[in-house]
Amino acid sequence: SSQTIVPTPVKISLINMLSETGLSVIEATSFVSPKWVPQMADHTEVMQGINRLPGVSYPVLTPNLRGFQAAVAAGAKEVSIFGAASELFTKKNINCSIEESLERFEEVMGAARAADVPVRGYVSCVLGCPYEGKISAAKVAEVSKKLYSMGCYEISLGDTIGVGTPGSMREMLTAVMKELPVGALAVHCHDTYGQALANILVALQMGVSVVDASVAGLGGCPYARGAAGNVATEDLVYMLHGLGIHTGVDLQKLMDTGTFICNALNRQTNSKVSQASCRL
C-alpha cells in the first residue's frame, strides 16, 4: 500500500535481502490484476527474478483461479487466499458476500490440491471493521473454520484496522481456538493504534506461534490516512528475542534490509528499534 510504484529490481533486491535474514516465510507478491493493484503488476517478473533460498517459503496472494494459474506458471510453490469476518467489508472490498467469496476460493482450493500447493487463508477484520465496527468473535471463528475445512493449512487472523486490544484479542482467539488447533493459527496485527505488540504478546501467551509482520512497518492504513499499518518486523523480533523465543532471524540484517527499502522509497522507517539503534 505504498504510494510510489517500486521498480521491479528494487522489489527483487528487497526480497533477496530478506531471504538472507533468516526469515522462513516471505510473502513475495500478489497475482492480482494490475488494474486493481498497479504496485503488483510485475508479479511474474518478481516471482521469476528472486533467489529462492532452500528452507524459505515464498507464498503469493491469489485472489482467484486465474491468478492461481499464473502464479503456478511463474513458479509459485505456496499461495494465499483471503476471507473477511465482515459482510460489509467483503462487499466494499470485492463486491460480494462472505459466502460468495468463499465459493470463488473453492476453485482455487481444488486446483491447489490437485497441484499439491499449500494454501494459507487470511481472515480480515477479526478485531473490528472500518464499516461494521465491532465484529463478533463467533463470526471470526465461523469464517476461520470454513477456510480451514476447505483445506487451508494455516489461518492468519488479521486486525485489519488495528483497533484490537489485548482484551479483544483474547476474546477472539478463545472463540477461534474452540474450532481450530492453535498450531494452525497465525496473527496479523496492525499497529494503527499502537496495540500490535501487546496484542501479539497475548496471542503468544495463548499458544499462537506464527506472527505476520512487515519490515520497517511498511504499509500504511488505507482507512486512516497517515496512520500506521503493519507492525514492524524489527520491533517484533526485538520483543521475541527479549522473551527468549527463537526466531532464526538476524536482527541486524533485518534492520539493514529495512534501511535499504526505506532509502529506496525515500521515506522514514516505522520501526522504533531501527529509529533508536541508528542513533546510538
Partner 1 sequence: QESEASGLPEYVKIVEVGPRDGLQNEKVIVPTDTKIEFINRLSKTGLPAIEVTSFVSSKWVPQMADHNEVLRGIERHPGVQYPVLTPNLQGFHSAIAAGATEVSIFGAASESFSKMNINCSIEESIEKFEEVVKSARNMNIPVRGYVSCALGCPYEGNIIPAKVAEVSKRLYGMGCYEISLGDTIGVGTPGSMKRMLEAVMKEIPLSALAVHCHDTYGQALANILTAIQMGVAVVDSSVSGLGGCPYAKGATGNVATEDVVYMLNGLGINTGVNLYTVMEAGNFICTALNKKTNSKVAQASFNTGTIN
Residue ranges binding partner 1 (CB under 8 A): 128, 162-168, 170, 191-195, 197-198, 200-202, 221, 223-228, 232, 235, 238-239, 241-244, 271-273, 275-277, 279-280
**What are the CA-CA distances from residue 217 to residues 89, 115, 118, 229, 273 (Å)?**
23, 34, 27, 7, 11
Q: Among residues 125, 129, 152, 221, which one is catalytic?
A: 221
Cell digits for 2? 505504498
Rank residues 35 and 279 by Cβ distance to partner 1 and give the closer one. 279
- Asked whether the CA dihedral 7, 8, 12, 15 is positive or negative, the reply is positive
In the complex, the smallest distance separating the C-beta of residue 223 from partner 1, rounded to whole angstroms, is 7
Cα separation, 71 vs 174, whole angstroms: 35
Cβ-proximal residues to 96 (8 Å cutoff; 6+ apart), any chain: 90, 104
Specify whether 221 is catalytic: yes
Rank residues 178 and 241 by Cβ distance to partner 1 and give the closer one. 241
DSSP 270: -
Cα separation, 223 vs 137, whole angstroms: 22
Cα separation, 89 vs 151, whole angstroms: 23
Rank residues 181 and 242 by Cβ distance to partner 1 and give the closer one. 242
> In whole angstroms, what separates CA 43 from the centre of its chain?
17
> Cα-flanking dihedrals φ and ψ of residue 159, to 5°?
-85, 80
Rank residues 147 and 221 by Cβ distance to partner 1 and give the closer one. 221
In the complex, the smallest distance separating the C-beta of residue 269 from partner 1, rounded to whole angstroms, is 11
Rank residues 117 and 163 by Cβ distance to partner 1 and give the closer one. 163
Rank residues 6 and 177 by Cβ distance to partner 1 and give the closer one. 177
Which residues on adjacent β-strands are paired with residue 188?
Answer: 158, 212
In the complex, the smallest distance separating the C-beta of residue 227 from partner 1, rounded to whole angstroms, is 4
In the complex, the smallest distance separating the C-beta of residue 238 from partner 1, rounded to whole angstroms, is 6
Cβ-proximal residues to 63 (8 Å cutoff; 6+ apart), any chain: 30, 31, 32, 81, 82, 94
| 124 and 164 Cβ atoms separated by less than 8 Å | no
| 79 and 59 Cβ atoms separated by less than 8 Å | yes
In the complex, the smallest distance separating the C-beta of residue 101 from partner 1, rounded to whole angstroms, is 25
In the complex, the smallest distance separating the C-beta of residue 117 from partner 1, rounded to whole angstroms, is 35
Catalytic residue positions, numbered: 221
